[in-house]
Amino acid sequence: MPNQINLILILFAFTGLIFTADYAFGHGLTSEFLQGETLSGEGLSLNLYSTTSPTEKNNREIYLELTDSETKDLVKETTFLIKAYSSGEKIFEDEFQTDGLLILDMNMDSKSFSNVEERTSELDDPNSLRNAKIQNIPNLLNSEIPGGLFYFEIQILTAGDFSQKLEKPIVFESGLSFPSSEFFEINDPNYGKQEFGLIGYYDKPYGFNYDSQSRGISFMMPYSWPEHEKEDQFFIHNEILIPRTFGDLRYENFSAYINGIDQTQSVFNVDFALEDEIQVHIVTDWEKLNELSEKLKDEKENRPSVLEYLFVPTDTDAPYSSITNGGRYRINLDWEPEQLVSGSEAKFSIEILDIFTKDMSKPTEYHFTILHGDEEIFHTSGLSTDPITKTTELGFSIPENVSGPITIRFENLGGGIFSNLDFPAIVFEPDSSTIPDWIKNIAKWWSLTQISDQDFVKGLEYLIQNDVIRIPENQSSAGEFETELPSWLRNNAGWWSQHQISDEEFFKSIQWLIDNEFIKI
């Protein structure tokens, strides 16, 4: 039975050694100082931490230092027995004899370990070693990086004399988190192939899914509910990378849920600092994890072994908003009608805010271009309006031969060559259906919970009676809903009423509910 030990989480700002950027934030259990038992009148402590490898991009170096708790001196002639676990499976076990310091090189791809006994001559110099490790800091934003949470059982078999085995080994148990990144491709009917990223700083997230009906992103992460004190400053951080070319998720406001429990009030924000992606961060701290623990317990005090994350946009009526490259300006962009249609007139409303003057709206030089593929179909330039009117209005006649994805491009704001920004949008082909406006009004009111389900049903009855929505042969047309409608349908109804999704997309969601007997008519 392992000795009872106190784990003191130290979020170090180390000097002398290079602790790479992906560990400097203190995500997960990056470094621990473990207090052991007294041996021959002397207390023993184990310091466990990790850095990048100076030679391999996907390798990590794990440091174990057994020291005298008072003098901080390394304990000579120490024998370590190391066992490592990943996802509940033992991946490594070996014994090492050292003078108190053990450095293991861990290959993150194969999950294999080797002992770093000596460096090559070019790495003897501390500055050279430091620089080599800096160069191997993994880029989580641009490449897939293996990682996750690894548990270590560390047994001390000898301490001070190789020939004298301890009657009872001293046992330390701890974990190290290695940030991971993975990328996923979806094929959207409007925007085509889009690549999303998922970054985990505690354990490796998995199961990425994008639901085009609700515009929700979901994924999972294993979690064993380790015990921590508030002073440990323990937290879990995950990130989603949304491509800027994907217009359906160009929003600032999202709601976040973990296992169905609202976590929007956690440290949660949308970051526009990257050129190609929008970063959505959620950080769940010790207090929020404790709240989740209490809410998710069943009658036997068991909790789920997996955290299920869900992110959905909340304010889809708000203008698109983003920050230019270089971070100088924020652009708020809106247009009418909400659904751009080939051969029709459109009006763009533009607000340019100067972040350096606390989002003040002031006259700013701009270049405005609309591209269809590589073809320029509209261009204008000028000076944005004064602070009183705030917005600049631009009219645009959409060519009849233009449909599908377009790019709305801002360039050289304020004369700055780096102050550029692209917004993606979709031009729809003219709609041949004849759906009365009152049905879309009903859908909008129902999405805002201003009318009842039964009032919403009346609109669906019209679509059914006019053969827009097909009723399966084994169902009668009773006009009754026997199952509560899912919440994502309200989002779809709202988007449809505001021309943010096509008739076909909305009808597919209704048809799916009927076919799967969520709605019995």
Element (H, E) at 439: helix 437-447
Q: Considering the domain boundaries, does residue 103 fall inside one?
A: yes
- In 119-216, which residue ranges form alpha helices assigned H by DSSP? 126-135
The counts of H helices and E strands in the chain are 7, 30
Position 484 confidence tier, pLDDT thresholds 50, 70, 90: low
- 156 and 246 housed in the same domain: no
Burial 255-268 (b: 16+ CB within 10 A, else e): ebbbbeeebeebeb
209 residue type, one letter: N
The pLDDT of residue 9 is 24
Could you tell me if 133 and 193 lie in one domain?
no
Encoded amino acid at 491, one letter: N
Q: Which residues contact 245 (CB under 8 A, 6 or more apart)?
A: 191, 194, 422, 424
pLDDT class of 17 with cuts at 50, 70, 90:
very low
Domain total of the chain: 4
| Cβ atoms of residues 393 and 368 within 8 Å | no
Name the burial class of residue 492, with classes exposed (0-12), middle (13-18) and buried (19+) by CB atoms within 10 angstroms of its CB. Answer: buried
Q: Which tens digit of pLDDT belongs to each residue from 121-133?
A: 777 788 888 888 8
pLDDT for 31 equals 39
**Does residue 520 sit within a domain?**
no
Question: Does residue 521 belong to any structural domain of this protein?
Answer: no
| Confidence (pTM) | 0.72
Q: Strands 254-258 and 360-361: what pairing?
A: unpaired
Domain-located, residue 39:
yes
pLDDT tens by residue, 312-321: 887 666 678 8
Looking only at the bridges linking them, the beta strands covering 421-428 and 340-341 are parallel
Residues 388 and 503 in one domain: no
- Are residues 162 and 248 located together in one domain of the fold? no
Q: pLDDT digit string (tens) for 167-226?
A: 999 998 888 888 999 999 999 888 889 999 999 999 999 999 998 877 889 999 999 888
Average pLDDT, whole number, for the chain?
80
Instruction: Out of 313, 332, 364, pick the residue that ends a domain.
Output: 313
Note down the domain range covering 375: 320-428
Taking the C-alpha atoms of residue 381 and residue 81, their distance in angstroms, rounded to an integer, is 69
Contact 287, 266 (CB under 8 A): no
Using DSSP's 3-state secondary structure scheme, residue 383 falls into strand
* Paired sense of beta strands 235-243 and 216-222, if any: unpaired
CA–CA–CA angle 76, 82, 88 (5° rounding): 160
Contact 332, 282 (CB under 8 A): no
Question: Is residue 440 within a helix (H) or strand (E), and if so which, with residue range?
Answer: helix 437-447
- Predicted local confidence at residue 32, as pLDDT: 42
The torsion angles phi and psi of 461, rounded to 5 degrees, stand at -60, -40
Whether residue 412 contacts residue 331, with contact meaning beta carbons closer than 8 Å, is answered with: no
Cα–Cα distances (Å) from 449 to 125, 493, 494, 502, in that order, read: 68, 11, 10, 22
Give the model's pLDDT for residue 226: 83
Tens of pLDDT, residue by residue over 241-274, are: 999 999 888 766 778 899 998 887 766 777 887 8
Q: Which of 313, 346, 372 is the endpoint of a domain?
A: 313
Is 245 within the bounds of a domain? Answer: yes
Contact by Cβ (8 Å): 430, 343:
yes
Give the pLDDT of residue 350: 92
Which of 216, 257, 260 shows the shortest CA–CA distance to 488?
216
